[in-house]
Amino acid sequence: MSISLQLANEAATMALGVQLAHLLRSGDVVRLEGDLGAGKSTLARALIRELTGAGDAPSPTFTFVETYDAPDFRIWHFDFYRLEKAEDVWELGLEEALEDGAVIIEWPEHAEQFLPETALVIKLDIAGDMRQAKIEANDLWEARLEKAGIA
């Protein structure tokens, strides 16, 4: 299933993050792809804030990973932009994250070979003053997206 959405502004990107937050379950992986400034961190922050109430959800650009406790599971937010070797994901705790909670990954293409094929892929592109979100979902995500009104 492939879905294309126009995101008119930052508020629309954040609204998509809030919608996705209500779909997230332990064991899920969300891949956020796109160029610098496309809105990956904005979407991730909105999702994290919605689930945890965290006032601050910094981008893990320099720390590589931040964790948050949601009511039912832990959220692991990774940023692989500065990853030197794909194998370094294991030192960052990816294996534990995949077993322990929900995983959000910015720049997942830097360690693609270690990520599950069941991940929800959200590709954000800059389109003038707007953003374009292309969501690629497998059967596991399709019904959830439809129920949330995203599909």
Q: What is the CATH number of the domain that holds 121?
A: 3.40.50.300
> What is the residue range of 89's domain?
2-147
According to the model, what pLDDT value does residue 106 have?
96
| 5 neighbors 135 (Cβ within 8 angstroms) | yes
Could you report how far apart the first and last alpha carbons of the chain are, in Å? 9
According to the model, what pLDDT value does residue 23 have?
94
According to the model, what pLDDT value does residue 41 have?
94
Spatial separation of the C-alpha atoms in residues 39 and 36, rounded to whole Å: 8
Using the structure block, give the residue that is written with the tokens 């940023």: 79
- Using CA atoms, how far residue 146 sits from 4, 52, 149, in Å, is 13, 24, 5
Spatial separation of the C-alpha atoms in residues 77 and 70, rounded to whole Å: 12
Query: Mind listing the pLDDT tens digit for each residue in 119-133?
Result: 999 999 998 889 999
Spatial separation of the C-alpha atoms in residues 145 and 150, rounded to whole Å: 5
Total structural domains within the chain: 1
Average pLDDT, the chain: 93
Spatial separation of the C-alpha atoms in residues 81 and 100, rounded to whole Å: 23
According to the model, what pLDDT value does residue 81 have?
93
Q: Which residues of the chain have pLDDT under 50?
A: none
CA angle 132, 137, 140 (to 5 degrees): 150
Global pTM reads: 0.92
